């Protein structure tokens, strides 16, 4: 017996299911339609290749184990720089076999007493960070209008999640070097370091725009642009 008012049209149910599925799938890289798609560099000769996700696919019969291998994360990063950190990426640019697989890694090394991975965002990926050595103060900020700050002090073995697209940072509050490994939900998550993008763009953003946006004096903006423009360019 059907209860009056309880009937839900089949077409509407399918529409809602399709919509929910679309949002779920669109939260990360598209699923591959083959076992793998080893990326070809555009400088290589392309023979019978297919253009997928920005990378040509090599004939799978020509793939080797080296296409799925990268040893760079075993090498400590050089933290002798103004922010005291080094990010070593392991994405599709380093591991051609990651193409279309929707995942990548990164190693972050932090100098003692204040090594910083400065506020940045990954436009195409959620990040899961695990501390391998040291103690990190980490956090992210939600979108407008709330701009809520979520922070945590992490110790060796601790894990923290940075949602896709949100500004986040990691700061070494320990007296020794810190190391973290990050997993990201994209083969090419991208990164926008906020200060570098705003004050180090090429060409520079108009000083009047930044003066009004940050509510500071022109001289402050010009000083910051000089710092970051030379670093970036």
Closest C-alpha to 170, from 80, 78, 125, 108:
108
Query: What pLDDT shows up at residue 190?
Result: 94
Output the pTM of the full model: 0.81
C-alpha gyration radius of the chain: 22
In a domain, 6, yes or no: no
pLDDT digits (tens, 9 = 90+) for 17-75: 444 444 444 456 667 677 888 888 765 555 555 555 557 888 889 999 999 999 999 99
Instruction: Please check whether residue 126 is in contact with residue 144, taking contact to mean a CB–CB distance below 8 angstroms.
Output: no
In a domain, 117, yes or no: yes
Three-state DSSP at 135 gives: coil
Shared domain for 179 and 197, answered yes or no, is no
The CATH number of residue 115's host domain is: 2.60.120.10
In a domain, 20, yes or no: no
pLDDT digits (tens, 9 = 90+) for 114-139: 999 999 999 999 999 999 999 999 99
Is 23 annotated to bind a ligand? Reply is no
pLDDT digits (tens, 9 = 90+) for 138-155: 999 999 999 999 999 999
Shared domain for 71 and 47, answered yes or no, is yes
- Cα–Cα distance, 168 to 83 (Å, whole number): 15
Strand arrangement of the beta sheet that strand 104-110 belongs to? 85-90, 104-110, 178-184, 127-133, 159-162
In a domain, 16, yes or no: no
Shared domain for 184 and 204, answered yes or no, is no
In a domain, 56, yes or no: yes
Shared domain for 100 and 176, answered yes or no, is yes
Query: What pLDDT shows up at residue 16?
Result: 42
Shared domain for 167 and 211, answered yes or no, is no
Shared domain for 225 and 129, answered yes or no, is no
Give the domain range for residue 58.
29-190
In a domain, 19, yes or no: no
> Which position has the higher pLDDT, 100 or 174?
174
In a domain, 171, yes or no: yes
Shared domain for 131 and 103, answered yes or no, is yes
In a domain, 1, yes or no: no
Shared domain for 175 and 197, answered yes or no, is no
Instruction: Work out how many domains the chain is built from and give that number.
Output: 2
| Chain mean pLDDT for the chain | 86
Instruction: Give mean pLDDT, residues 83-110.
Output: 95
- Asked whether the bond before 28 is cis by omega within 30 degrees of 0, the reply is no
Shared domain for 108 and 196, answered yes or no, is no
Is 122 annotated to bind a ligand? Reply is yes
Closest C-alpha to 154, from 140, 141, 167:
140
């Amino acid at each position: 017996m059907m209860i009056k008012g309880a009937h839900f049209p089949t077409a509407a149910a399918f529409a809602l299911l399709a919509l929910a599925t679309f949002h779920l799938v669109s939260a990360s890289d598209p699923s591959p339609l083959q076992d793998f798609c080893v990326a070809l560099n555009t400088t290589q000769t392309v023979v019978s290749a297919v253009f997928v996700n920005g990378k040509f696919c090599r004939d799978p019969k020509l793939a080797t184990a080296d296409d799925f291998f990268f040893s760079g994360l075993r090498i400590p990063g050089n933290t002798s720089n103004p922010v005291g950190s080094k990010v070593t990426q392991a994405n599709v640019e380093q591991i051609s076999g990651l193409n279309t697989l929707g995942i990548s890694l990164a190693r972050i090394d932090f100098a003692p007493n204040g090594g910083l991975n400065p506020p940045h965002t990954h436009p195409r990926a959620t990040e899961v960070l695990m501390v391998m050595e040291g103690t990190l103060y980490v956090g992210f900020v939600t979108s407008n209008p709330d701009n809520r700050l979520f922070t945590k002090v992490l110790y060796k073995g601790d894990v923290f999640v940075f949602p896709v697209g949100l500004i986040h940072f990691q700061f070494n509050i320990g007296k020794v070097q810190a190391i973290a490994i990050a997993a990201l939900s994209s083969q090419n998550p991208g990164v926008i370091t906020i200060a570098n993008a705003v004050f180090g763009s090429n060409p520079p953003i108009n000083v009047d725009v930044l003066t009004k946006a940050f509510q500071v004096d022109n001289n402050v903006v010009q000083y910051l642009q000089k710092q970051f423009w030379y670093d970036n360019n």
